[in-house]
Homo-oligomer: A and B are copies of this chain.
Amino acid sequence: MTETRDTDKASEQTGERTGERITEAESVITAEQFLKHWQGHRLLSRRMIEAFPDDQLFTFSIGGMRTFGQLAGEMLVMAGPSLQGVVTGEWKEYEKPRPTTKRELLEAWDAETQRIDELWPMIPAGRFQEKDVAFGQWPGTMSWLLRYILENEVHHRGQGYVYLRALDIEPPAFWDRPE
């Protein structure tokens, strides 16, 4: 039997008793969950930026890769402008210069965090499953685009973990973030 924390409610919701199975269209992640989850990842990425010594953030790298400051700069400029495009159907690049110091990066990060919270409820109904060409270059559903942005961040942030370990610095825990 299923061990649930919320037994009665959960048993009523599940199809186990009737043998009913998921439909292809059933939601794995709702809009509310995605926003909270995305911002949780962005909070962890912010902790990563903070964990780098000022003098290593834009200088240290391995194997000819970009510095973590550059990778975090990419995460920064992808997030807000992409969501703006999801909301409006207009694709505009990040307008400010990319940050070149830890302080600038953290300030810009916080501004985009607020922008994302403000934009999210403005997404038109049905938009997640709609196709569009992000920035005139990347065709796909808005569901795909949002996943891409989030996972690109997880991917590059994972690289930052190796940099920190190579610098003998303990990174913040991957699992320690809002759901």
Contacts and interface: CB of A to CB of B under 8 A. Distances in A.
Interface string A14-47: 1110011111111111111110010001000000
A165 interface: yes
Contacts of A146: 28
Interface in A102-138: 121-133, 136
Contacts of A127: 14-16, 22
Interface residues of A, number: 75
Contacts of A27: 25-31, 128-129
Nearest to A167: B63
Nearest to A136: B3
Question: In the assembly, how many copies of this chain are there?
Answer: 2
Contacts of A156: 158
A67 interface: no
10 nearest CB pairs, A to B: A158-B158, A63-B165, A15-B125, A2-B89, A27-B27, A24-B32, A13-B126, A20-B125, A15-B124, A155-B158
Interface of A: 1-6, 10, 13-16, 19-34, 37, 41, 62-65, 89, 121-133, 136, 139-141, 143-144, 146-148, 151-152, 154-159, 161-168, 174-175, 179
